[in-house]
Every structure is written in C-alpha cells, then in structure tokens.
Structure 1
Amino acid sequence: MKQKLSMFISMFFVCTILTLSIHAYAETAPKSFSDVKENHYASKEISKLAQLGIIEGGSDGLFHPDSEITRGMTALWLSKALKLKEPVSLKGFIDIPESSTYSLAVNALKENGIVQGDEGRFNPEALLTREQMASLLVRAFKLKENGVNVWFKDESLIGESHYKDVVRLKQHLITDQLEYLPKNQVTRAQLVLFLSRAISQGETGKDEIPLSDFLRKSKTKGIQTSPDGKFTAYLEEFEGHLQIYVEQDGVELDARLTNMKDRDIEDFYWFNNDRILYISSVHGLEDYHVHSVDPQGKEDKDLTPYDNIRADIMESLSYLPGHENDVLLSINNRDRTVFDVQRLNVKTGKMDLVAENPGNITSWLTDVYGEARLAVAKDGVNSKVLYRSAGQSKFEPILDVNFGDTFKPIMFSFDESQVFALSDIGRNTMALVKYNLNTKTMGETVYENPDADVTNIVISYKKQAILAVKYETDKVHYHFLDKEFEQLHQAIAKKLPGQQFVITGNPLPETNVNLFAYSDRSSGVYYQYNRKTDSIKKVKDTLSWIKEDQLAEMKPISYGARDGLTINGYLTLPRNAGDKNLPFVILPHGGPWVRDSWGYDREVQILANRGYGVLQMNFRGSTGYGKTLFNAGNKQWGQAMQNDITDGVNWLIKEGTADPKRIAIYGASYGGYAALAGMTFTPELYAAGIDYMGPSSLLTFLNTMPPYWDKKKMYRQVGDPELDKQMMEAYSPLLHVDRIKAPIMFAQGVNDPRVNRKESDQMVMAIRQRGIDAPYMIKENEGHGFRNYDNQMDFYTTLLKFLDTHLKK
C-alpha cells in the first residue's frame, strides 16, 4: 500500500512540475533567439511557436536551429501543439520511465495513436528522420487523401511503412520538395517549419469566414409554388446531394421527395398539381435525365432511362386538350450527335417522335400550341432559319444568317404571324426584333441598346404581351414596354435598395408577387411582395449563415486594351485592406463565350475574404457587349484575348492596386487555358498559376470535344487543325512549357465531357519532365467542375494554401 501511495505521489509530482513548467514557458517564451537571424528560413515560425509555448531553446538560451532533433523532443513539441490531455498511464514504453521529461508527452501521443514503439521501446534519444516526421505529422493532424497527385525524384528511397504519409505531407502542401531525402535527420528548424505548416491546416484567421460556410450548399434553392398554390417545393441538401422538399401552406412537412445517391438534381418545375419534373446528372457526365415524382414522394421514376444521352425539357403541353400529361423534350437518344423533338407522357413514360433532326438542326422553337414549327440549322459555318406553316408540313428556309451574325428566335407572336427574335444582323448589339412569317421579311425593332445585347424578355400570357426587355451592362437593366409592370418593378425596387431582383412565376399577379433578390454580397433571398398593401416579407434566405457585412464589394470597372478597345469587368478588394499594393488573383472566366456579371460570386468572396484582390474582365470573345467584341475573339486564344487579360494586370499595377510581385492567375475551363497561357507567354507577370480543367493544347482539345458540339463553328472560333496548325501550336501552352517560371497547380475531373482529362495530364507530365513540380488534384467522381462538397473542400483548401505559399509575404 505504501509503495502504491509513494508511486502515486511521485507520478503526481512529475505531472504537476511538467505541466507548470509548460504553462510558465508559454507565458515567458521569447519571441526570438539570438542564434536565429531574421533572414533564417524558419525565423518567423520559430518565433511564432516559441510565443505559443510549443517549442523551447536549450539551457544556454539559444535555439540551435541546425542541430538534429531527437524523437523525445519531437514528442514533447508535438504534444504541446496538439494540447493533449494527460495520459491515463505512464507505462507505454519500457525505455521511458515515469520520471522522464518526455513521459507525459510520449504516453499521451501513444494513447492517441500518434506514436508507435519498437518491441516496447520508443528510443527517445534517437534522431528523428524525415520519413518518421511525415508519419508523426500525418497521424497527429489527421491528414487525409485529397486527390492531389504528387511525385518525388527519390521516392524509391522512402520506406514502405512511411510512403503514404510522405505523400500526404506533400498533398497538403506541407512540403513542396522534389527530393524528400527520407532518411535524412531532421533539424530543429526543419521540424518547426513543418510543424507550423501542419498546425495551420484548417485554421481560420481573424475576420475570416470558415471555408465550410462558403461551400455549404444553399439551405433553400429554387422555390416554386404548385399551380393551385397549396404546395411549395424547393431544393435542399441531404447527404451531399440536393434533394426536393415540399411544404404545404407554409407549414414545413419535412417531406423529402427524392433520394438521389449518385446524381445531383440540377433543376425542377411543377408540371401540374400532382407531379414535379426534375433533371439530374451523374458524376459530372452531363448526361441529363428527366425524372417524375408526385408531391408525396411516390412514383419517383426516370422518364429517360437511356445510357449516354442528354435530355432537356422544352415545354409542357398540359394546357392542350388531349395532352394533359405530355411534355416536349429535346433529346439525343436516337443519335448521340443530334437532338430530336420528342413528346413524352409523364404518366406512362411513352415517347413519340415529333420532329426528327436530319443532322443539321441546332435549335427548335414551338408555336403557342406546342407545335415545333421553327428551327435553326447549320449550313457549313453559316446558319439558316427554317419554318413550316403547319405541324406536319416540310420545313423551308426563310432566312440566311452569316457567320458572325446572330438570329435567335425566342417566341411566336400570339397571333402566330410573326416571330420575336434576338438579332444583331445589320447592327452591333443584339436587339429584340420581329420577323414577319407571311412576307418572310424582317419587321420592326422592338428595342435596341447601343451598349449591350438584349438578353431576355418578360412575358405576360394573361395580357398576351411583352412587358419588358432585359439587357446587361455593368448590372442587369430593364426597358419597360408595359406601364403597369414598370410601376410594379419600381415599387419593389424601393423596398430592396442596392439589390437586383427577378420576379418568379406570374409577373403580374393580382396580389402576391414572388421574387428572388441578390447583390454582390448576398447569394439571394426569396421575398413576397403584396401589391395591395405595398409590403414585402422575406420567405427564405439562401445562405443565412453568412452576413453581408462580412463580404467584399464588387465594383464595375473598365480599362483600355492596347488597341483601344474598352474592356469592362469587376474589381473586388478585401475588406479593410486598403487599395494599394495588394496580393491579387486574376480570374478570367470560362466559356469563353459567356461573360462575368455583377452579383454574388462564391470564388471571388472566398479569395477576398482571405486577403486577395480579384480582377475579372470581359475580354474579347465574351458575350453581352455586342458582336464586335465577341467576334474579335475568333482565333485569338492566347493572342488578343490574352492581351486583354495582360492589359488588365498592367492597369492594376499602374494604379498601384496590385503588388507586381504577388499576382496569380487562376481560371476554370477556358479560364484554365488563359491561366496556362499567362504563365507561359507572360511568365514575368505572375508569381503562381492555377489551371482548373483548362485545355493545354488547342489541337488535342478540339479532337476530344463532345460529339454534339458544332465542329465547324469551333474551327472558326478556335482554329482549324489543318489550316491553322502552325498558329494553334504557337499558342498551345503544352508546347511551350520551357517558358514557365512560376509554380502551377492543376485540378481535373476524370469524367469531364468538355475538357478531356488528357489536357491536364499531358501538361503536368511535360512540366515534370523538366524537373519542375506541379500539384495536380484529380477527382474520380467529377466532371467539368467539382460538385461534391468534400471534393470542393479539398480543392479550395489546397488552392488557398497554394496561393498563401506563393503570394503572402
């Protein structure tokens, strides 16, 4: 009994002294050591961890940064970093007595599965090797596989039991060495450097929003009310995928209608009061399927159960007698390369061919009775508009459209004598025009804006009239054609200052107007406006956990390109960081035949929240600003299109906004190509680059595009592999990797149907063959962009670490 009591007192004394000494050290730790010079590679980390009480110097008051560190001292530092609880037992190893300085630390690490012994021994005085350090850090900080493909020149020297851990260390950018030197002994400074990087994994700084908050899927998305107004459906995340939920008369039923396991729900709409149709796609393959489900979650079935197809809903025919259960689809189940019009019975699943595509039709348009009577067909690189006077008659050409011009039919007039279209024939910007079907001639121009393309219209089927025309310059604007709708719009705008909004459903209901509002600092809020009481109420907030005052303002800007063309874009600066000498991320958009717009952009806000300025630009080739800007991008990949991006970077530098030594370029799809082009053709501009599923060779990219893409049009816009081979080789980053001076990170989905995985593979291999490393994240269950939450977390976590490594001071 006395022996046990004596042992307990001795054990308590050791624990208490060690604990007190740790606390005392934390309070008195020096900020620096005289033998660690300010320019030492680990001086900052040594000072930081010393202040935190995690590391300590020698008895002489010096740190001895280049001395090898023992396993015992490593255990002591690691246990402090992890803030481990005192171990239950101090008898984990036969060579570490309970009175040892390392006893608490080593046994705590063992009880947490972090250290292992050899035949009951820990060997505390043995020197730590680099591969042993990797295993300790991976287990201590639970570093998991994240899909980053890594390589080491000396990987054959890494012990089998440590190999995966060394890989994990590099996957998480704790090391970026090409030669890991696994058997080398670790110095005290090296351990501090690696330990500091491991500690910072997942850390959120002051005023930083957790990455998980940015990436959580919207609580509520796509609110839609059933035709009778009794049910409200919306999308909400469940087990990693968006599912359809319903409420009845505002009372949440917690009724989840769908249970998609391997597919995402892309969109849905009420077909009638008894049935919802929704669109899904699996693993990023973009093989869109149409499903049906009732408001109770019953009879959930795939209405297009074919392999390797893509189906899009054109319109419901339920308003037509005899077609109450019918919907029109555009689908390529007959021929993968073309889309037919099929009539689908959503109740029975029966499908009937309505209009067969002879092989050259790119789009269809139905009249007010659901008959497919207008089509746009390819004619080489030009187009023809085809028309038939009745549903079963032959299509005849009525209009030729030359390459470079646009004519987009959008609806028949209610008397079916005319077609409304968006057209830039004979003008620069797309206008809303009428085309007379009886005389086969262009009619009046309804509305034209000299600065921007008309993009859409607002229709009232009750009034049988177009209420407004939509166009976008710095923001979305409306030209009103109906006084009642204009007054309604103005009344709502007064309630939502500084926000953009769109009315959903009926644009002119008698009382309650459903709408969706958003801004640069709000991902969106659903409201209901009461016309009779002039009052507005919030229905649901899409990202209620992120507050607007935490986010950065997106400002419309413009600058001059070197040839005098005006380039419009958006500038976002981090909050409370000033507007001078900032680290910057240049973010060219994908497409490239789309545009950047003002509004909430998750990527932009993530970057700004982490201290980076962000520049987006609508370079030539972008849509929205007329065909002069758009067509100026033809066959200009890597050339004038890239110059517009470069000119934006130089504008930032000239303004003093960007630190010229801390600029990165990052983009997805075409933006990924632009990032590679920037790193290759203007390497002096960028300190780092990130290519997210971008083409690396213009020649191989065109050889692997989806079968339903217009090859001849792509040849005119990107380049003809035969006629323009020399030009395409000159502007393919793959063939010019010798010019790259700064590090590049890559990310790619295996199932990408648009940009084949080969585009990233070949670029990474070419860089590595030159002895340069490149982090390369590959995700097996993704396509053109990562959709899975875990994959997004891996990607943005790695992206931010990569930027911090190369851009932060």
Structure 2
Amino acid sequence: MLRYALPALLFASVLPAYAQSPANDVPLIERAKIFGNPSKSGGRISPDGKWLSWIAPRDGVLNVWVAPASDLSKARALTDEKVRPIRGSFWSPDSKTLLFIQDKGGDENFLLYGVNVVSGKQINYTPFEKTRVQIVQISSKVKDRILIGINNRDPRWHDVYSLDLASGKLTLVQQNDGYGGYLADEQLNLRLASKPRSDGGATYFRVKGGKVESTPLADIGLDDSQTTAPLTFTTDGKTLYWTDSRGRNTSALLAQDVASGKTTVVAEDARADIANALYDQRTGRVQAYSVNYLQQEYVPLSNDVKGDLEFLKKNTKGQFSVVSRTDADDKWLVAVDSVTAPPSAWLYERKAKHLTQLYVTRPELEGAPLVPMYPQEIKARDGLTLVSYLTLPQASQADASGHASKPVPLVLLVHGGPWARDGYGYNSTHQWLANRGYAVLSVNYRGSTGFGKQFISAGDLQWGRKMHDDLLDAVQWAVKSGVTTADKVAIMGGSYGGYATLAGMAFTPTTFACGVDIVGPSNLFTLLETIPPYWESIKQQFYKRMGDPTTEEGRAMLKERSPLNSAANIQRPLLIGQGANDPRVNVRESDQIVAEMAAKNIPVTYVLFPDEGHGFARPVNNIAFNAVAENFLGKCLAGRAEAIGGTIKASTAQVKHGAEFAPGLQEAIR
C-alpha cells in the first residue's frame, strides 16, 4: 500500500471553528439500524390475492419470503442466497411463481430466476454467461408465460423470447438487429419497436406478424427523447397510452387510437412530467395518474378509484403509493412513507375500506430522532427553478416551515444519473447525516428528469459547467438562508454525484471543505469508452448530452470537463469508494485520479470493494464505507461520528490508499 506524507497545513486550513458537536443532546442512531438489512421490504400481493411476498433476511442475507395472505405467521423463506442480497421480486401472472433477478458481485449481468411458491423449487430461466435479461412484458391475461429480452447472441441487442414459466422453455419471438426495445400488448404480441437515431432520439415502428414495418409511427428527437415514450396498450389493444412532450414542455399522458392514430390528452401538468398511472385491472384504461413536483400526489380520472384514493390520503400519514393489486382488484398493497418514521406496508381491502399494517421496514427506527424533509424551490443564476430537498438536524432549531435558526455544517448530497431525480420521502442518507449534526441538501440540478424536456436539455454539454453552477447556487442559497456558513460545506454523491464531487474538488477547489465520491467518473473519455455494450441504443444520447468523443470539438470538451485533468488543483480532503466490478463506471475511473493525486502528494483515501459494482449492495460493505465516511466528515466538519470499530474487517473493503487521512481507519485495518 502506497503512503504519502500529509502536509499538516492542508487539513488545518479547512477545520471549522466548531468547538463542540452541534447535536450533543440528540441520541446517536447506530449506522446498522439505518443501513443494515431491513426487517421486511418490497411487499407484493399475488394476482389471485392468496399470497403475500416480501424481501427479508435469512441468515443475515436478504431473500424472498412468502406467506398466505390470510396467515402471515406461516411465512417461509423461498430462496437461500448466502452472500449477495436479493433486492426485489415480482409475481408470475398465475400466482404460482415468484420471480427475481440476480447478478454476480455487482456486474449487472442480471439473470432471471423463479421459485415455485408451493414446492419451493427454484429454476434459473436464463443460465447464460455475460448476459443481462430484460423483462419485455408481463400480462394479466396470459398466465403461463412472459416475454423477456436476452442479449447472449449479441451483447448490444436483446432478442425477445417467450418464456414458459412452468417448464422454463424459451421460444424465440423476435431476433433483434438494432432496435432499442419493444412494446407488447396484453396478448403478448409485439406491437412496437424503437430504433435509435443518430441525433440521440428514437424512431418507433409498428410490428405486425413479427415484422417491423418500414413506415415510422413516431419520430422522437433528442429534446423529447427522455420525456416521450409509449407506455402500455389497453386490454383490447385498441388504445395506446404515451407519456409525450412533443409540442409541449412537460410530458402529458396521451391516449392514441391505434386505428386512426388520433391522440387525446388524458392529463398534463405544467410543473412536472406525467409518466405513472393506475390502470383498470380488467380493461387497462387509465383510472388515475400521479404527478411528482415537490411531492407525489395521485389525481383520479374516474370514480372507480376516487373514493379509494381519498380514503388512503385521509387514513395514511405521509405519502402513499399503490404498489400492487389483485386481478379482482379487491385488495391493494400500499406503501406509506411519512419521512420521520420508517416506511411501512399496508393491505387495503377496497370493499370494506379497511387498512391493515403488514410490516414496518425498519421497526428498530420507530421512535428514533428522525427529522423532517423540507421541499424547496431554489433559483439558479439564470432563473431556472431547482426543486430541492433540505433536511435539518435538531441543532438547526428549525421552525415548522424549515427555516433554520442556527447555521450548522452542510453536506450537499448530489444524485446520480444525471438523468434521474431526487424526491420527497424517507431518505436513509439524509437521516444519517442529519443525526450526525449536518444539514443535508439534495438538488435537482439541470439535466435532472421529471421537470420537463427544457430542464433536461438545459444540462446538455454542461457537465462540470452550468450543472455544477446549479449546485454552487444552491450552496449560496443555503448560506444566505442561514442554513450553513460558506466554510462548512462538504459535497458527496454517487455515480454522477461522484463526478460532481470530483468536479467540485478540482474545478472549484476552495468551495467545499471536503468531498466524498462514490463510484464517480473522473475521466469522461474512459467513461464513454467503457459503457456497457447493451447501452448501444442510447450511446448517441450520451454523446449529444455529454460531449462527442468522435469529434475534435467533443474531445476538447470532454478533456476540459474531466476532473482527472485538473486533479493537481485539488486542495481539500477527498474520500473515494469504488466497486471493482462496476460495469457503468469502471474501477479505472477511481484508480486514475487516486494515482494522479498520490503522485502529487495530495491527500486522498481510497476504499475498494472487490465484490461490488455500481454502489454497495451488501449491507456489511455499505456500513463499512459509511463508517469511514462519517469519521472523515467528522474531522472535516466537526460533526459526530460512531467509531469505525469492526466494520471494515466485517466487510470486503480494501483500503488502497490514504488510510492515514481518515480518522480511525488505520486502527480499523490493523
């Protein structure tokens, strides 16, 4: 392990003037209670209503469990994973099989498995190497099979197969020679195919009799590429629903008559995109839609579910989501999130208008000092509105509206993607950091999804520039609002959030007191060189929105925007976490910048997990990295920290460089 001398002045210059913890009177919540295995999660009700399933630990590893809906005391584990957690499952249409996908060590080569709920027999439906399965269509009308995509013939494209769930037999439906994806109807007939365009958009074609027609149904340009897509057909196949931003900014929910091609606006909202809806279990027609601006809310479109949604809103504390429904539509499984309590799952019986709590995800957090989250609208310097989320520790002495009375250190927590978004709700990282004494701010910077195509396109070619300016503007807002002071702000994030951390440290080296980068790219050239082959259909979109490595202008931009090339400017402490098997952000991204910094004697701590990919799925690894992170932040921002203790040795963590720069880490690895 290489070690380099630490210039004492570097750390001393960024230590804040806090003489004591800002949250000494608040009980410290153990890391394991926040980041360990949930007691239960991922609940689903079977289509026939006879079974309930969920994910829960078995011998310390998350597995699939099932119980009769009428008697949860008869719950039993269906799977027996020993190392890597299963993080979700879903029901077969006939209610006989629970399905789940699983990879190896975070390589994201997800294979599809099924377990018979009666016999417990497990089958690997896709026993192939270097293959990533996709679910193309699961229909409530065809009970014995589903459609899946498999890329074992050509890693770039997924051929469509019909999977017989009982026997495991795969039957080729459509060989894929260059299409980004397919949409099928409720009879499992392929109806649409999308083909990537050179401008980063997509063209949609009808499919008839297994043949893709030559005349386009729809041409979608780059601007609409992330806000326009077909969603689903009605049961009779006569209506196609779209989320569609063509001719508008935010995407509306449209209904298209298949025969005539005529479209009708079903729902739209000028604040946010509409992509999620509740559909009639029998007809497939839209009953309600959800819109998520500051918070998610359901809007009923028919009387079928209006009373149910009103009842749930009145009788649940916080946001609720309808997670699954029976074929008879007499029972719903509803998730409830009240932010200041751990999420819970409830069985809703529609006829009786009755709610029964099934479980709390983390009962050990009930009664813990969890704090509210406050949605914010922050103005960027050019006038864009940045929907953001602020969590304040009790030391802020915030009022009911989230106005802080005392400034505290702040962690700017940046989401990944970048084509994703932060939302309102219980957030484990927010609660953990707030409990340690920090304000936490998550910002939907330009390029984030959910707020219309103009907001996404405002981030085109703005990695490390206007996207980063948005983060800086949000920090300035927090300083002006009295949330924090300018010298007590850290930046932290994963994936693009990791890139933003590196960009912050390298491009604005005195803005942040320190940074925590998790699986973040440092070199945009090598990032684009190593994207997975199955991203071929969206490769041009990366080029158009990030910078095109095939042009001289694009190469110059990518070089300029790569933190690696400005690593010599980094002045403040940096912690990096990486999964060795990451297929999205190759381990080389972290290796490169650590080597560059080490060569220049710039302090950096590097923790590598050999059995992880794009993030840390195994709780022991997540807990270990967070143990290092909170002690690192504790030195940087003078917040509280639970000792690292035995977390490193309980994990697979390899401290590749700079253990001496993170308090307690050297002792933990001895």
Query: Do both share a fold (TM > 0.5)?
Result: yes
Matched, 1:602 2:428: yes
Instruction: Choose the corresponding residue for 2:572, options 739, 742, 745.
Output: 742
RMSD: 2.3
Instruction: Choose the corresponding residue for 1:713, options 541, 548, 573.
Output: 541
Partner of 2:361: 542
Partner of 2:232: 411
Matched, 1:377 2:203: no
Partner of 1:562: 381
Shift in CA distance, 676/392, structure 1 to aligned 2, threshold 3 Å: closer
Partner of 1:152: 3
Counterparts of 1:779 and 1:298, CA distance in 2: 33
Shift in CA distance, 206/177, structure 1 to aligned 2, threshold 3 Å: farther
Instruction: Choose the corresponding residue for 2:205, options 382, 386, 389.
Output: 386
Partner of 2:184: 366
Shift of 1:793: 1.5
Shift in CA distance, 262/498, structure 1 to aligned 2, threshold 3 Å: closer
Shift of 1:316: 3.5
3-state SS of 1:677 partner = helix
Counterparts of 2:41 and 2:318, CA distance in 1: 22
Shift of 1:679: 1.1
Contact preservation (8 Å) 2:519, 2:590: yes
Shift of 1:655: 1.6
Q: Deviations over 1:777-800 (max 9, x none)?
A: 000000000111211121000000
Q: Following superposition of structure 1 onto structure 2, how do residues 450-465 of structure 1 map, counting pairs within 5 Å?
A: 450-465=270-285
Partner of 2:16: none
Shift in CA distance, 487/253, structure 1 to aligned 2, threshold 3 Å: closer
Letter in 1 for 2:438: Y
Matched, 1:664 2:483: no
3-state SS of 1:724 partner = helix
Partner of 1:428: 249
Contact preservation (8 Å) 1:240, 1:789: no
Structure with the bigger RCO (C-alpha within 8 Å, sep 6+) is 2
Q: Following superposition of structure 1 onto structure 2, how do residues 293-312 of structure 1 map, counting pairs within 5 Å?
A: 293-296=115-118, 298-312=120-134
Contact preservation (8 Å) 2:84, 2:618: no
Shift of 1:508: 7.7
Partner of 1:217: 37
Letter in 2 for 1:224: R
Shift of 1:270: 2.3
Partner of 1:581: 407
Which is greater in Rg?
A: 1
Instruction: Choose the corresponding residue for 2:289, options 469, 488, 511.
Output: 469
Contact preservation (8 Å) 2:84, 2:617: no
Counterparts of 1:262 and 1:507, CA distance in 2: 35
Matched, 1:767 2:588: no
Partner of 2:588: 758
Counterparts of 2:25 and 2:150, CA distance in 1: 49
Q: Deviations over 1:727-780 (max 9, x none)?
A: 221221111122211111100000000000111111111111111121100000
Q: Deviations over 1:95-128 (max 9, x none)?
A: xxxxxxxxxxxxxxxxxxxxxxxxxxxxxxxxxx
Counterparts of 2:317 and 2:31, CA distance in 1: 29
Shift in CA distance, 259/508, structure 1 to aligned 2, threshold 3 Å: closer
Counterparts of 2:3 and 2:368, CA distance in 1: 45
Q: Following superposition of structure 1 onto structure 2, how do residues 220-259 of structure 1 map, counting pairs within 5 Å?
A: 220-248=40-68, 249-259=70-80
Q: Following superposition of structure 1 onto structure 2, how do residues 253-272 of structure 1 map, counting pairs within 5 Å?
A: 253-271=74-92, 272=94
Shift in CA distance, 372/635, structure 1 to aligned 2, threshold 3 Å: same
Matched, 1:801 2:631: yes
Letter in 2 for 1:711: K
Matched, 1:499 2:319: yes
Counterparts of 1:640 and 1:297, CA distance in 2: 56
Identity %: 33
Shift in CA distance, 297/211, structure 1 to aligned 2, threshold 3 Å: farther
Contact preservation (8 Å) 2:132, 2:151: yes
Counterparts of 1:356 and 1:797, CA distance in 2: 48
Partner of 2:147: 328
Shift of 1:549: 5.5
Instruction: Choose the corresponding residue for 2:562, options 723, 726, 732.
Output: 732
Counterparts of 2:317 and 2:113, CA distance in 1: 39
Q: Deviations over 1:435-459 (max 9, x none)?
A: 34334x4511111111110021110
Counterparts of 1:610 and 1:313, CA distance in 2: 41
Q: Deviations over 1:322-348 (max 9, x none)?
A: xx5322102212111111211112222
Unaligned runs of 5+ in 1: 1-149, 155-175, 180-199
Instruction: Choose the corresponding residue for 1:487, options 298, 307, 323.
Output: 307
3-state SS of 2:520 partner = coil
Instruction: Choose the corresponding residue for 2:607, options 777, 785, 794.
Output: 777
Shift of 1:299: 2.2
Letter in 1 for 2:193: A
Partner of 2:663: none
Q: Deviations over 1:168-206 (max 9, x none)?
A: xxxxxxxx7899xxxxxxxxxxxxxxxxxxxx9xxx985
Shift in CA distance, 398/656, structure 1 to aligned 2, threshold 3 Å: same
Q: Deviations over 1:664-716 (max 9, x none)?
A: 00010000000111111112211101111101111111111111212211100
Partner of 2:653: none
Letter in 2 for 1:717: R
Counterparts of 1:262 and 1:345, CA distance in 2: 29
Partner of 1:32: none
3-state SS of 1:520 partner = coil
Counterparts of 1:652 and 1:376, CA distance in 2: 43
Counterparts of 1:363 and 1:548, CA distance in 2: 46
